[in-house]
Amino acid sequence: MQVETDLSLLPWSKGDPMPSISVAVAPTQESMPATILLIDDNAVQAATRQTILKRAGYFVIAALCPSRALEQLRLHEFPHPIDLIVTDHIMPGMNGAEFITRLREFELDMPVLVISGMAEAEAAYKGLNVHFRMKPLLPDNLLASVKTLVGSRQ
């Protein structure tokens, strides 16, 4: 991509050194960060995980309502294709296992990371092809799991 700039319009005097000029170029599909859909009805936990993931360079979409997120996935309403879903287990209206069971009706290969404080919840995900982690999940462990799962998608 070639960018032309008329440098005669920039405000500096003849004796000053030329300032550096940076040009923003839209990222290509190959250089775009992975897009993560984060589903958690607890706004504080969602915001915390969203911050951790954003600081690591991921594009994160947070959703508080699993049924709405499911519908948006089905209708392809998100601004970017989703590379990974990170979800909580216990949520009102639809728990994580119900969400993933319905997701698998139309999206068989989407990587999913389930985070729960209940060890017994893991049994509910048998056969659903998910990566299950227990709370509390330290940031480094969250990022390692996400990196592995995003890598499996690409």
C-alpha 77/C-alpha 117 separation (Å) is 30
Q: Are 99 and 87 in contact (CB under 8 A)?
A: yes
Cα-based distances in Å from 122 to 7, 31, 79, 116, 129 = 61, 35, 31, 8, 11
Give residue-wise pLDDT tens across range 127-149.
999 999 999 999 999 999 999 99
> Minimum mean pLDDT among 32-36, 68-72, 139-143: which range?
32-36
- pLDDT at res. 31: 61
Inside any domain, residue 23: no
Which residues are bridge partners to 63 per DSSP?
Answer: 39
Domain count, the chain: 1
pLDDT band at 152 (very low <50, low <70, confident <90, very high): confident
Average pLDDT of the residues in 44-67: 96
Query: Does residue 50 surpass a pLDDT of 70?
Result: yes
The CATH number covering residue 101 comes to: 3.40.50.2300
Inside any domain, residue 100: yes
Mean pLDDT score across all residues of the chain: 84
C-alpha 91/C-alpha 69 separation (Å) is 13
* Domain residue limits at 113: 31-153
Inside any domain, residue 15: no
Query: Does residue 22 surpass a pLDDT of 70?
Result: no
Inside any domain, residue 98: yes
Residue with the bigger pLDDT between 126 and 11: it is 126
Inside any domain, residue 137: yes
Inside any domain, residue 78: yes
Inside any domain, residue 7: no
Helix (DSSP H) and strand (DSSP E) numbers for the chain: 4, 5
Inside any domain, residue 149: yes
Rama region for 76: left / alpha / beta (φ>0; ψ in -120 to 50; rest): left
Average pLDDT of the residues in 7-25: 40
- How many CB atoms lie under 10 A from the CB of residue 132? 20
